[in-house]
Chain A
Amino acid sequence: MDVGNSVPAEAAFEPLLQFEMEMGTFLSEWQHCDHLSTYLARMISHNRADPVRHSNFFSSALNELLEVSFRGGTASGQIGLSIYRHGPVERVQITFPCPAEQVPFYREAVQKIDRSDAHARYLDSISTDMAPSRESILLDLAINFDASIRIEESTSPAVTLIVDLPLEGLVS
């Protein structure tokens, strides 16, 4: 996965939608992940070449990110989600509050995606883990959805994942 190089210049990304929710409300119901990813995917896919399939693909990826936030997030503050587009790429920026001591684990998981053994690690996680780890979910996005993933940290205990998904090319 060649992250970094393939990320187009910041300014070129056009905002498509922004969404915020109280983290407490988000965490009250597991189904929020499914419902939000289905709904938002449909909204942003309508003007893609194949809206039905783009939305199916996008929903898959977005749901995993929402599930990561659900499992790792804390109930104070807000979850924020922004989706941008540049050409064939959608950028998902997701921010959620999490315990300060967890932040390094996200950082480490993101760094590992860039390493040359990413594919082997992914296969290894499929064949040995009982349940998917945070890392194996990010690897899934990188390998099966060709995603590039970055992390941003803020002063408040929160994590921001920036995930570029070139799905238009994969779908058609």
Chain B
Amino acid sequence: MSVTGLSPNFKVAFDANSQVFSLAGVVRPRSVDEIADSIAMLKQAIDDVRGVLYVDVKRLIQMNNTAFHAFVRVALDACRARADLRMVIVTSSVVGWTTRMFGHLNQIEPQITVEVYDSTFYPGQSFVEDTSFIPILRTQTKMTWRHERSILPRHGLRPGIAIADVCCGIGDFAVLVQKEFQPARIVALDHSKASLAYAREVATNFGITDIEYTYGDASEMLLEDNQFDFVSCRHSLQIFNEPELLLKELYRICKPGGRVYITNEKNSHCLGEPRAQSIQWTYNEVAKLFSHFDMDVELGPKSRRYLADAGFDDILVESFMVTNLDGDPQDFADVITAWENVYAGEMAVRRGDTPEFIERFRQGFRDHIFAALHPKGYAGWPIWVASGRKPT
């Protein structure tokens, strides 16, 4: 809904099934009258719910005191009138002031509590946001860049444009793009504070000051609509339990006519010679292990469908293989070692696998390393690149 004088991206909704009343966007009215409809909707929602009303403000980007007082008034009055009512206000750690502002309500009214939704919000989060991922990401990007630097221009990357790298990890891709393609603006977003801290340090060491690193949730970004000519999201769609949600956001921030660029794996297709069988067994198990944590590391070849379903046109898909022959075979081996440490050493343990399983699981990684370092060996890691254009 939109009311005269209010920002068109202020959205109010009530979902009776989940008992969620949500406020999103920018709401800075001059007087309460301008938000009378929304206030009425909240009152109606309160009348309809039994038990708990969830008030979702995680995408509330701006709210002035006038609106805050008006909504809070209704909430407090309702709690006073109905002892059975509980309200949970769901905020995001990204929009810091909402947590602070709404946080006071619990001191006034114990029936109201505040939850920060993104402290644990996707199944694989604890692995992915952990610092043990840093060495993996670092070596991986070093190896994929050799291929991607020549692939990227085919997918629309060129100098002088506005770029967002969503789920940027430790930010090395942003640094490489910045150096090679001199964008007019580059924003790099991730939800791991550890990775971002690392990214900022790396950028500082390289004397790079123009990358806007930002903490955020890729599925609920603060970035405005239609801002970027090129939006990249590398190796990350595959770790979301709901890739569609993420794609919708990538689409939203992309300019009409701009392109969204995604890279993903199909882990079961990692390969090596000699010892092909053991290697293949382990990577099939990698795919199963990730799916146990609701992550689809087989997503690569599904990219075309995901992009089409998200509304993109002019979809381009290609694949490349990172191999032990790309550069120093030891780099390849280092990536595999990092995988072994996290996948066998942490994730399988967390799943509750037996020591026998874990040993066999580890063996495939060791065999992959053996193949990579073998003088006549060959080891590969295939990656799917896909991009689509946001229709004008």
Contacts and interface: CB of A to CB of B under 8 A. Distances in A.
Interface of A: 30-31, 33-34, 46-47, 49-53, 56-57, 59-60, 63-64, 67, 122-123, 126-127, 129-132, 136-137, 140, 143-145, 170-172
Interface in B144-202: 187, 189, 196, 200
Give 8 closest A-B pairs by Cβ, nearest first.
A132-B65, A52-B214, A30-B30, A144-B100, A51-B212, A127-B108, A34-B28, A132-B69
B215 A50 contact: yes
25 contacts: A30-B5, A33-B28, A34-B28, A34-B62, A47-B209, A49-B200, A50-B213, A51-B187, A51-B212, A52-B212, A53-B94, A53-B214, A53-B215, A53-B216, A63-B62, A63-B64, A67-B64, A122-B104, A123-B107, A123-B108, A130-B73, A136-B69, A144-B101, A170-B96, A171-B96
A93 to B, nearest CB: 21
B119 interface: no
B223 interface: yes
* Interface footprint category on B: 35 or more
A63 B28 contact: yes
A144 to B, nearest CB: 4
Given A63-B28, A63-B64, A131-B69, A50 B214 contact: yes
A82 B65 CA distance: 23
Given A56-B222, A126-B72, A131-B69, A46 B212 contact: yes
A63 B94 CA distance: 19
Nearest to B26: A34
A49 B204 CA distance: 11
A60 B62 contact: yes
Given A51-B214, A64-B64, A126 B96 contact: no
Interface of A is mostly: helix
Contacts of B101: 140, 144
Nearest to B31: A131
B215 A172 contact: yes
B78 interface: no
Given A53-B94, A56-B95, A131 B32 contact: yes
Contacts of A132: 65-66, 68-69
B65 A52 contact: no
B76 A127 contact: yes
B69 A126 contact: yes
Contacts of A51: 187, 212, 214
A80 to B, nearest CB: 22
Interface in B59-81: 61-62, 64-66, 68-70, 72-73, 76
A145 B187 contact: no
A60 B32 CA distance: 18
A143 B103 CA distance: 12
A137 B30 CA distance: 14
B7 interface: yes
A123 B104 contact: yes
Given A127-B109, A130-B73, 5 more contacts: A30-B5, A50-B196, A52-B214, A53-B96, A127-B108
Nearest to B7: A34
Contact of B66 (A47, A56, A131): A131
Max count, chain B CB within 10 A of own CB: residue among A67, A144, A170: A144
Max count, chain A CB within 10 A of own CB: residue among B104, B105, B222: B104
B187 to A, nearest CB: 7
Contacts of B196: 50
B127 interface: no
B5 A145 contact: no
B65 A140 contact: yes
Contact of A56 (B61, B72, B109, B189): B61
Nearest to A144: B100
B28 A126 contact: no
Contacts of B26: 34
Contacts of A56: 61-62, 95, 97, 222
B337 to A, nearest CB: 32
A47 B101 CA distance: 26
A71 B28 CA distance: 13
Contacts of B70: 131
A113 to B, nearest CB: 15
A172 to B, nearest CB: 7
Contacts of B66: 67, 131-132
A171 B214 CA distance: 10
Contacts of A67: 28, 64-66
